[in-house]
Amino acid sequence: MRISDVLSGIVFLVFGLCVIFQAGRLPSIGGGVLSPGFFPSILGTGLALGGAIVAGKALLRKATSPIIHFEPWMKDGRKITTIVLIGLLIPFFAFASPLLGTVTTSFIILMSMMLVQKQKLMTSFIVSVIVSLSVYLLFSKAMGVPLPVGVIERILP
């Protein structure tokens, strides 16, 4: 997907103005020049100016590209499903791993992704088990990273 420079510039301009506005609402500490809103104001100004320049240049060259252009691959349902699934499975890991454990949650995620990609069921199962266990053992046991523990992790060495 491509978004026109005019739209992108306007979005950054508005976002920069919102940052400046919010920075101005931060409380002043000690009445000095370097109040908590000083650096956010600088960043907001940069965003707003950059957005204005991008949008202005696009308008001056009379850009005729559509506001939003969808690429041909975006009509493939499986690819869109994969993108949406990734977006859903990341918070799923955060919420499910404390309840199910790292290995089980990782297995569910890997199995889901492989099945959406139309991999064979047995191949998906074997790869999901091996990768889930390997990642857990590498991070938890070899590197000492504390990971959520579930039923499976309690029986592992």
Angstrom distance (rounded) from CA 20 to CA 46: 10
Query: Within this chain, do residues 138 and 65 fall inside the same structural domain, yes or no?
Result: no
Instruction: Give the domain range for residue 40.
Output: 2-69
Segments in 117-143 forming alpha helices (H) = 121-136
Q: pLDDT value at position 108?
A: 96
pLDDT, one tens digit per residue, over 39-93 is 899 999 999 999 999 999 988 887 666 777 777 877 888 888 888 999 999 999 9
> Please, what is the average pLDDT of the chain?
88
Contact between residue 65 and residue 2 where contact means Cβ atoms under 8 Å apart: yes
Give the model's pLDDT for residue 64. 67
**Rg, the chain, Cα only:** 24
State residue 30's pLDDT score.
65
- Give the dihedral sign, CA 49/52/55/61: negative
Block residue for tokens 């739209």: 7
**Cβ proximity of 78 and 116 under 8 Å:** yes
- pLDDT at site 54: 93
Q: What is the mean pLDDT of the segment spanning 2-29?
A: 88
pLDDT at 24: 85
- What are the strands, taking DSSP E only, across the chain? 2-3, 68-69
Domain check: are 65 and 131 in the same one? no
Chosen domain end from 27, 54, 69: 69
Among the candidates 22, 53, 69, a domain finishes at: 69
pLDDT of res. 62: 74
Final residue of a domain: which of 69, 87, 107? 69
The most confident of the ranges 32-36, 132-136, 152-156 is: 132-136
